[in-house]
Amino acid sequence: MVTPLGVAVPMLYTIPLFLTWARPGERSSALMGGSAIFLTLVGVAFSPGEVSEVVIVERAMAATLQLVVTSLLIVQKRSTRKVKAAQQAMHESEERLRLFIEHAPVALAMFDRDMHYLSVSRRWITDYGLSDRVVIGQSHYDIFPEIPERWRAVHQRGLGGEIVREEEDRFKRPDASERWLCWEVRPWKTADGRVGGIVIFTEDITERKMVEQELRNHQAQLEDLTAKLLTSQEEERKRIARDLHDDFTQQLAALTIDLQRQARLASESGTPTASHLVQMGKKTEQLTTDLQRMAHRLHSSLLEHVGLEAAFRECVDECSTRAGLTTELVMRELPRGISLEQATCLYRVLQESLQNVTKHAKAANILVRLQPTRNGLELCIQDDGLGFDQSENAAHSNGLGLTSMAERIKGLQGTFRIESTLGFGTEIHAWIPISEVEPDR
């Protein structure tokens, strides 16, 4: 018979075995377990009395039990170690995430489903004037009780799994200063795929907005200045044209009449200078015509007196005789209510375009079309000349012609477009709105 005491005595070795529980690692338990089994088995030789079968069975049972205990201890310690390592890894990854968020160069905050802060970036703290120790674990709505309803609604949409983004939004800080923000609300998900909360990211774009606004102001100022320059240029042309017409051409006309009378008198009295005087009279007459033309070009009184159609016809004809080009002018019935300002604008575009064709294009034909559209008037000047590269031209040209045409049209809320292909000619399209209700000029 096996006595319980015979088994229990060697089992006393399990006491130091259990004590190894407190030591880290499986090695101490394995060593202690091995030693206990060894001593239990070898101890048979030193036990008093005869080595009976009973004693051997008792020792074998005790050694088996010790083996079981040792194995259990080792398995337990191993799994504890694994759990600890996993916890450590998780802790490290959480810490990395926290550091990542904290040092992110944008304002970033992570919330749980109840909008309690889980993590924030430093930028968030500084941008919203908070203290990080106070923030974590607190409710966003407790910190900002005055948060507008529309933002609460956006948070709810985020918690519903939606990504919401706004490129420009105004935000009032607690110190009442106003900032411009670009923001995004994104849901974050737990390992099982449920929405665990949201992440809000905001970028302060106030500086950018200010720069943009400043640029817009400068642009407006520049446009204003250009418009003023064009107007004063028009005024100046008008003045010079008036002077030329009222003063010089009148004087020249008087001189012509004088010369013609002298020539007549001289030829009657048979003076040899008669033919010379006739020549002088003709030259002066030509000079008068040229000056009148110049005055017209500077300020086409034709526009005021005979209207846009006649002025256009004269301008195109003049270009054709001057440059020896084949010109075609197509005009459909023009709408009523074209103001003098609008007529002058279109006339200047025509003048500059024709000048450009004769100066740069080396064209043989020009087609000018002036036709009404549904709510405006369109002018198109087309040539079959060399054409030009507009991008290159924009970078290198010192000319003002194209720019001033575009500005004039823009000043009348119209549209201006150039289509040019190297080797295939150029088309200028200008359109201005005309309201039919305006009284006839």
Ligand X SMILES: Nc1ncnc2c1ncn2[C@@H]1O[C@H](COP(=O)(O)OP(=O)(O)O)[C@@H](O)[C@H]1O
- Residues of this chain that interact with Mg ion (CB under 5 A) are 356, 399, 401
CB of 302 to Mg ion, least distance (A): 22
Six-digit token string for 206: 């106030």
Is the four-CA dihedral 20, 24, 26, 30 of positive or negative sign?
negative
Compute the least distance from the CB of residue 352 to ligand X, in Å.
Answer: 6
Shortest Cβ 296–Mg ion spacing (Å): 19
Token reading at 283: 């030259």
The first and second tokens of residue 400, run together, are 């003002």
In this structure, the strands spanning 415-421 and 425-433 are antiparallel
Count of residues engaged in binding ligand X, rule: CB under 6 A: 17
The CA dihedral of 373, 361, 226, 396, to the nearest 10 degrees, is: 130
372 is an interface residue for ligand X by CB under 6 A: no
Nearer to ligand X, 186 or 360 (CB): 360
Residue among 256 and 356 whose Cβ is closer to Mg ion: 356
Question: Exposed, middle or buried: residue 55 (CB in 10 Å: 0-12, 13-18, 19+)?
Answer: middle
For residue 148, the partner it binds in ligand X, Mg ion, none, with Cβ less than 5 to 8 A by kind, is none
Shortest separation between residue 241's beta carbon and Mg ion, angstroms: 20
Tell me the longest C-alpha to C-alpha distance in the chain: 183
Q: Which of residues 151, 201, 312, 388 is near ligand X by CB under 6 A?
A: 388
Calpha distance 39→312 (Å, rounded): 124
User: Residue 62 or residue 315: which is nearer to ligand X going by CB?
Assistant: 315
d(CA 393, CA 389) in angstroms, rounded, equals 6
Which listed option, Mg ion, ligand X, none, makes contact with residue 195 (CB within 5 to 8 Å by class)? none
Does 360 interact with ligand X (rule: CB under 6 A)? yes
Q: Find residue 166's DSSP bridge partners.
A: 183
What is the chain's percent helix, strand, coil content, to nearest 5?
Answer: 60, 20, 20
Radius of gyration of the chain from its Cα atoms, rounded to whole angstroms: 50
- Please compute, for residue 169, the number of CA atoms within 13 A of its CA located in the half-sphere on the CB side: 17
Q: Whole-number minimum distance, CB 300 to Mg ion, in Å?
A: 18
361 binds, among ligand X, Mg ion, none (CB under 5 to 8 A by kind): ligand X
Which residue minimizes CB distance to ligand X? 399
Give the DSSP H or E segment for 366: strand 365-373
| Nearest distance from C-beta of residue 396 to Mg ion, angstroms | 14
Contact region with ligand X (CB under 6 A), list: 75-83, 195-203, 323-331, 398-406:
398-406
What residue 280 binds from ligand X, Mg ion, none (CB within 5 to 8 A, per partner kind)? none
Distance in Å, CB of 271 to ligand X, minimum: 50
Closest CA relative to residue 346, chosen from 251, 433, 228, 256: 433
Nearer of residues 196 and 401 to Mg ion, judged by Cβ: 401
- Residue 132 burial (10 A CB sphere; 0-12, 13-18, 19+): middle
Q: Tell me if 361 contacts ligand X by CB under 6 A.
A: yes
357 interacts with ligand X by CB under 6 A: yes
DSSP code of residue 332: P
| Binding of ligand X by 350 (CB under 6 A) | no
**Contact of residue 357 among Mg ion, ligand X, none (CB under 5-8 Å per partner type):** ligand X
For position 358 contacting ligand X by CB under 6 A, the verdict is no
- Residues near ligand X (CB under 6 A): 356-357, 359-361, 383, 385-388, 393, 397, 399-402, 426
